[in-house]
Chain A
Amino acid sequence: MKDTKHTASPARTPGVPIMDAEAIRRALRRIAHEIIEQNADLKSVVLAGIPLRGVEIARRLAEFIRDVAKIDIETGTIDVAMHRDDVGTRAELPVVHTSKLPLPLEGRTIIIVDDVLFTGRTARAAMDAISSFGRPARIQLAALVDRGHRELPIRADYVGKNLPTATREQIQVRLQNIDNEPDAVWLFKE
């Protein structure tokens, strides 16, 4: 099932490359280091990816953390579609996915992982979804790209790349395992 979150319409103008596979790899490795530094108790950390690409990014972060800290960090999936506040106002109904989180959440640090941080509404929906499973000790947010234009008081704890954009521009993240294309971040000028 295709996720339409960041891939609304294929843009007509050619995309501007923002990150290539190596840049994405370095950004994720740096985020992994920051997660290790900021979480003394890594065993309590859960990397909860937002489908589809957030789940893949969480998996890669867990690999980097295993390489560096020799710890198998737990991962999960957090569905935001059924927690959004704009069902019925979007052109397409968001596709729901099954959430999977290691329970109970009490005492744990949940790191929400997504590909692009934009308005912050997805992150808000993710926090709402997490709350329905229990009450974690803390929730943090990691994004490969932060493109600005927040509509809610939300900021990321870990960012791969800060990218100033215009609202009408589109950011597309492509990941080999999801999209069958080389890893890349593209910017499309509408």
Chain B
Amino acid sequence: MNWNRKDLLGLRELSADEINFILETADAFKQVGTREIKKVPALRGKTLINFFVEPSTRTRTSFELAAFRLSADVINISASTSSLTKGETLKDTARNLEALHADILVLRHSSAGAPQFLAQRLKSSVINAGDGAHEHPTQGLLDIYTIREKRGKIADLHVVIVGDILFSRVARSNIFALTKLGARVTLVGPSTLVPREFEKLGVTVSHEIENVLPEADVVNLLRIQHERQRKEYFPGIGEYTTLFGLTKERAKHLKPDCLVMHPGPINRGVEIDSEVADGLQSVILDQVTNGLAVRMAVLYLCGGIAA
């Protein structure tokens, strides 16, 4: 397969072959993390700009480390340090970054479509690091990489995604990629956050977690995003935990080989009990490690093409 995309904007537009190719490329880059010298010269001389208009530590750090391991130079720009606060438009800011010969732009933005807007206007690679409630493709890829690593396949697995689906770009990226690779996906949560509308994407919607847990091969718990919620969606944290939290009692109904995942940061005691988050079935920290490998793969593929 030949990779020919300079941008990674979402998983919806990727073919199953392209997704698998990224995962295979990530295998090779994961191995780099085990070497004495955890750095390869693949992107030497290239400049990556982490442009995070919305705050993020975990994703930004992961991209930054991925770029370091590929020998690219990295600049971090956050909303507060950019001239967006002085009234500059997103396009002008980005064009200025390109005038500095930035080769790769990693963009986190609160508006869906912002990465696509820039990708169409810039010669640089644009990598979507999360845009509004649209997509977070590298998170979707690292989730799928982790499932594939632990279970050896994606096809025919039953993946249950629990929580705030409506506002979740992580859920969308997961849904697009998992269904393409042949997994069965069930979304679980309160009807306000998991509307039936999602069934159009080829998934099952359920509002009761008890029935779903015993048949799950993977349970991916999404964080309740307080910052995106308005009160009417959501009666209260306590009630959410009672109805949908993966408590240690509920976890007893999981299959022994079911994986427990969470994109982080975890709200312990809200969507997941500490005993479950730290338990044997949890692969939450593997997700973090794999995120680095997946982001190296994406930067290598898109950054290598753009030149």
Contacts and interface: CB of A to CB of B under 8 A. Distances in A.
Nearest to B20: A1
A interface: dominant SS: loop
B2 A99 contact: no
Interface string A70-84: 000000000101111
Interface residues of B, number: 32
Contacts of B42: 81-84, 87
A132 B35 contact: yes
Interface in B140-193: none
Interface stretch (A7-15, A26-34, A89-97, A177-185): A89-97
A76 to B, nearest CB: 12
A87 B32 CA distance: 18
Given A93-B304, A99-B31, A128 B41 contact: yes
A95 to B, nearest CB: 8
A134 interface: yes
Contacts of B304: 87-88, 93
A85 B35 contact: no
B24 A1 contact: yes
A36 B31 CA distance: 31
A131 B39 CA distance: 11
A133 B36 contact: yes
Interface residues of A, number: 24
A38 interface: no
Interface string B15-31: 00000010011011111
Interface string A20-60: 00000000000000000000000000000000000000000
B37 A132 contact: yes
Contacts of B1: 1
B307 interface: yes
11 contacts: A79-B28, A82-B32, A83-B41, A87-B304, A87-B307, A88-B304, A88-B306, A88-B307, A92-B2, A93-B2, A132-B36
Interface of B: 1-3, 21, 24-25, 27-32, 35-44, 46, 70, 297, 300-301, 303-307
